[in-house]
């Protein structure tokens, strides 16, 4: 069932929950306040800002808009998109759609798990990567596929997937 | 004389294959040498297996180049553009030269995909130049009655392309019947089937076609608002939809008093889905648009009576709407001329899996599965044997080889136990394990079940447990019967389409591949050599060189043997991870 996703997701071990600037949220609230059906866009807007939905954000949104925290929490735990804890800077989404499954997507996930030393759903201790499995990215003819940020990588092998990740790691260490 | 054009295919697939790099390369070559040609982009051409694609259109005709990288792009610009000498080696389609991929297009009829790959989807003028918004102009300038528009769609025989197959004209008629101050048209672009990408390609390649279809539906049912509910996983589709909507507003196709008709007011907005397969179900989709958990509700009342915000609503899928302008422009008879008696027109399929030439194809209804796979798709990849084709994703089923001559129409496909679905067609070969396939789909539906109905929530979980057990070599006598019993209970007792169809992949694989289930359970063997716990790994003495690579990589030290001596796998210790098989360079590991 859908809520298991949240219950089963592993909290980030070595990342302390960062203190976020909740004032950043005010323009998002102002944009959607009073509009019909604004709950999901508000949560999406919040997540775009912080990468996850901090507990305090529910309270602030509730105070300003009158939406109930219980309703928001119900929605946030229903949809796969929402996260309640921080994630790594780069989210690696390995596609496990039908086409990718028959083209050995499992091998891709295993290779990435081995290279990063984390399991599916976890974040690396340095906070650079979070590894996720997703249902379908819609690039089936390039299967197996993974997506990092907005970039999609197709026709992968375990080796080439790890290569992509290494390159990002090098970029990250240079920019630090 | 028209200027030479160079067009790069930049749909999601093209970009993933490296299309952006090719585009940038051509752009810098053009600027560096001040070359005189037009550089432009288009979206999905359908030949996903040849991405990235570059088309050159010069005074002699059209040349489509496939599998282009930066180096090949350089050659094309140098030889074709500068020296006017087409690079035949990279050609995949041309009016002037024969190519091995021609058969991919032969037999296709492009109605929904009529503009995909032909226009730059971010430019309204290009859509207009290909009859775009003519259908809307036709009905508004002549003030064609709503009833006539509905009757035209009804006569065309168009049925819901999202998978349900309900008559579109009937749906519109119901929505038209209920009077209200507010009414809605919704486009279901929550393409959740893993293995399907028709809607993404359409939205990326021809967003205006979908929007025009929606405006015509709004005219027919007198809607006052429109929503496109699109998966958040499709950022490029959302981006291009928003560009198209802005253009349509500026041009007056959307807004107040459209085409000067009093009372014809409409705006359309894009709502991003938040990731829930169940939101493909129309009542759950509307709950999600309203900002609630996407859980289905009981019908009746149908959306046509009480839909979004409690108002009459018409919901169709992307492909359905894209067909509408064509039908209005060409007449219902032209559309109904394609297809079979009960399934008219064409259907778009995403052809993927173990096939040589995977991509996006639009075929007339009535074509056989064999023709799609072998004539268009070129057959099975890597010289393997065809085993089954999966239609309809997690709601559908696997069609085996002896039914490969089944016609593609709603009724024939349903008779096999699969469903037409939204158009995902995943081809499987001898290496695909059908029990694992069933487990894969149940894992998906079990996670995606919203939890409202007990049978769906708990039943799918129990089915998944049994299937996992079978794949883990722990299957028991009676498991197949237990699966069947659970399957029928879930089908009968679930409220929405998700639960009612979730057991289909299991039922069809039991029906056609019962022997594979039995091999797993009784003989503890996986005929496709896919389920690792059911496999045995042994060293082939004649091939083993004693290089020790397998022994070094074995995580449980199950492999013994010294350098240059034949190795041995201790079956007691072996955890069947398969690493020895992958690491061995001499094919000395036997799997059975």
Per residue in B32-86, pLDDT tens? 999 999 999 999 888 988 999 999 999 999 999 999 999 999 999 999 999 999 9
According to DSSP, the residues that pair with B113 across neighbouring strands are none
How is residue B576 annotated by DSSP?
Answer: -
SS3 B390: strand
pTM of the model: 0.92
In three-state secondary structure terms, B62 is strand
When computed from its CA atoms, the radius of gyration of chain B, rounded to whole angstroms, is 27
Q: What is the DSSP letter of B402?
A: G
Strands B397-400 and B386-391: antiparallel
User: Between chains, do B276 and A78 touch, taking CB under 8 Å as contact?
Assistant: yes
Per DSSP, helices labelled H in B132-261 are: 134-141, 146-156, 168-177, 198-205, 207-221, 235-250
Per-residue pLDDT, averaged over A153-157, amounts to: 90
* Cα–Cα nearest to B183, from B229, B216, B223: B223
A-chain residues near B11 (CB < 8 A):
none
What pLDDT is stored for residue B6 in this prediction? 95
Quick check: A14 pLDDT over 70? no
SS3 for B550?
helix
CB-based contact A102 B426, cutoff 8 Å: yes
Residue located via tokens 């500026």: B250
Mean pLDDT of B440-448: 94
For B440, the closest of A43, A101, A136 (CB atoms) is A101
Convert the pLDDT of each residue in B513-554 to its tens digit: 999 999 999 999 999 999 988 999 999 999 999 999 999 988
| pLDDT band per the 50, 70, 90 thresholds, residue B227 | very high
To probe the interface with A, which of B291, B308, B382, B447 has the most A CB atoms within 10 Å?
Answer: B291
Stretch B79-96: mean pLDDT, rounded?
Answer: 91
Mean pLDDT of the region A101-124: 91
Rounded Cα distance between B241 and A52, Å, is 26
| pLDDT at position B17 over 50 | yes
CB contact under 8 A, A103 and B275: no
Cα separation, A144 vs A112, in Å, equals: 13
For residue B234, list chain A residues with Cβ-Cβ distance below 8 A: 138
Contact A154/B17, CB-based, under 8 Å? yes
What is the average per-residue pLDDT within B9-31? 91
In a 3-state reduction of DSSP, which class is residue B75? helix
Mean pLDDT, range B92-119, rounded to an integer: 90
H/E stretch holding A105 reads: helix A105-116
Terminal Cα distance for chain A, rounded: 41
Confidence class for position A9, pLDDT limits 50, 70, 90:
very low
Q: What pLDDT score was predicted for residue A16?
A: 55
Mutating which of A98, A157, A159 best tests the B interface, going by the most B Cβ atoms within 10 A?
A: A98
**What domains are there in chain B, each with its CATH number?**
5-104 (3.40.30.10), 124-335 (3.40.50.11540), 346-429 (3.10.20.600), 434-523 (1.20.1440.230), 536-591 (3.30.70.20)
A9 to chain B nearest CA, in Å? 13
Q: Do strands B54-58 and B5-9 pair parallel, antiparallel, or not at all (unpaired)?
A: antiparallel
Distances (CA, A) of A137 to A48, A89, B232, B351: 20, 20, 10, 15
Q: Which residue of B has its CA nearest to A133?
A: B444
Q: How confident is the model at residue A11 (pLDDT cuts 50, 70, 90)?
A: very low
């Amino acid at each position: 069932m859908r809520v298991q996703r949240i219950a089963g997701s592993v909290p980030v071990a070595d990342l302390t929950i960062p203190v976020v600037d909740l004032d950043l949220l005010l323009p998002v609230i102002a944009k959607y306040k009073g509009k019909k059906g604004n709950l999901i866009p508000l949560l999406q807007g919040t997540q775009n800002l912080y990468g996850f939905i901090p507990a305090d954000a529910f309270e602030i949104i509730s105070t300003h808009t009158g939406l109930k925290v219980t309703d928001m929490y119900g929605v946030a735990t229903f949809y796969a998109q929402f996260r309640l804890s921080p994630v790594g800077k780069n989210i690696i989404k390995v596609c496990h759609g039908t086409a990718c499954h028959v083209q050995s997507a499992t091998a891709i996930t295993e290779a990435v798990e081995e290279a990063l030393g984390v399991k599916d759903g976890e974040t690396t201790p340095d906070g650079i990567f979070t590894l996720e499995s997703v249902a379908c990215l819609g690039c089936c003819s390039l299967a197996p596929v993974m997506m990092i940020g907005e970039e999609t990588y197709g026709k992968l092998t375990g080796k080439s997937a790890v290569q992509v990740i290494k390159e990002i790691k090098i970029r990250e260490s240079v920019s630090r | 004389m028209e200027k030479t054009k160079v067009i790069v295919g930049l749909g999601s697939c093209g970009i993933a294959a490296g299309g952006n790099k090719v585009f940038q390369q051509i752009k810098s070559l053009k600027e560096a040498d001040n070359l005189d040609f037009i550089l432009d982009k288009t979206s999905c051409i359908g030949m996903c297996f040849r991405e990235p694609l570059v088309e050159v259109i010069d005074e002699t005709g059209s040349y489509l180049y496939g599998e282009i990288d930066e180096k090949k792009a350089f050659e094309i610009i140098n030889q074709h553009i500068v020296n006017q000498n087409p690079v035949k080696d990279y050609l995949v389609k041309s009016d002037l030269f024969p190519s091995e991929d021609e058969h991919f297009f032969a037999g296709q009829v492009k109605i929904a995909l009529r503009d995909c790959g032909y226009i730059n989807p971010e430019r309204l003028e290009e859509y207009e130049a290909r009859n775009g918004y003519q259908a809307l102009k036709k009905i508004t300038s002549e003030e064609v009655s709503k009833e006539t528009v509905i009757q035209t769609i009804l006569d065309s025989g168009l049925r819901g392309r999202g998978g349900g197959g309900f008559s579109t004209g009937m749906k519109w008629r119901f929505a038209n019947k209920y009077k209200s101050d507010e009414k809605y048209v919704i486009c279901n672009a929550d393409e959740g089937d893993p293995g399907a990408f028709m809607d993404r390609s359409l939205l990326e390649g021809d967003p205006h076609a979908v929007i025009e279809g929606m405006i015509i539906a709004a005219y027919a049912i007198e809607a006052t608002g429109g929503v496109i509910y699109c998966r958040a996983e499709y950022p490029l589709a959302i981006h291009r939809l928003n560009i198209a909507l802005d253009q349509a507003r500026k041009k007056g196709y959307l807004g107040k008093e459209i085409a000067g008709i009093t009372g014809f007011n409409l705006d359309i907005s894009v709502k991003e889905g938040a990731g829930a397969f169940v939101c493909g179900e129309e009542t759950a989709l509307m709950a999600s648009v309203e900002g609630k958990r996407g859980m289905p509700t009981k019908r009746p009342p149908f959306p046509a009576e009480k839909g979004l915000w409690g108002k009459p609503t018409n919901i169709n899928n992307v492909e359905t709407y894209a067909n509408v302008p064509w039908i209005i422009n060409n007449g219902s008879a032209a559309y109904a001329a394609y297809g079979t008696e009960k399934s008219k027109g064409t259907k778009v399929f995403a052809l993927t899996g173990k096939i040589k030439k995977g991509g996006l194809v639009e075929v007339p209804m009535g074509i056989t599965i064999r023709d799609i796979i072998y004539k268009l798709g070129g057959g099975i990849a890597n010289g393997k044997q065809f085993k089954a084709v999966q239609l309809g994703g997690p709601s559908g089923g696997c069609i085996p080889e002896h039914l490969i001559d089944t016609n593609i129409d709603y009724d024939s496909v349903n008779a096999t136990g699969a469903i037409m679905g939204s158009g995902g067609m995943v081809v499987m070969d001898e290496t695909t394990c059908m029990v694992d396939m069933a487990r894969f789909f149940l894992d998906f539906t079990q996670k995606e079940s919203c939890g409202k109905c007990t049978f769906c929530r708990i039943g799918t979980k129990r089915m998944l447990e049994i299937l996992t057990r079978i794949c883990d070599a722990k299957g028991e006598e009676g498991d197949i019967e237990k699966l069947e019993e659970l399957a029928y209970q879930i089908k009968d007792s679930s409220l929405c389409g998700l639960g009612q169809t979730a057991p289909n992949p299991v039922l069809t694989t039991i029906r056609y591949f019962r022997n594979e289930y039995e091999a797993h359970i009784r003989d503890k063997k996986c005929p496709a050599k896919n389920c690792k716990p059911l496999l045995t790994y042994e060293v082939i003495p004649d091939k083993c060189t004693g290089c020790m690579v397998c022994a070094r990589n074995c995580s449980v030290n199950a492999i013994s043997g010294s350098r240059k001596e034949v190795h041995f796998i201790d079956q007691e210790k072996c955890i069947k991870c398969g690493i020895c098989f992958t690491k061995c360079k001499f094919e000395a590991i036997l799997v059975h």
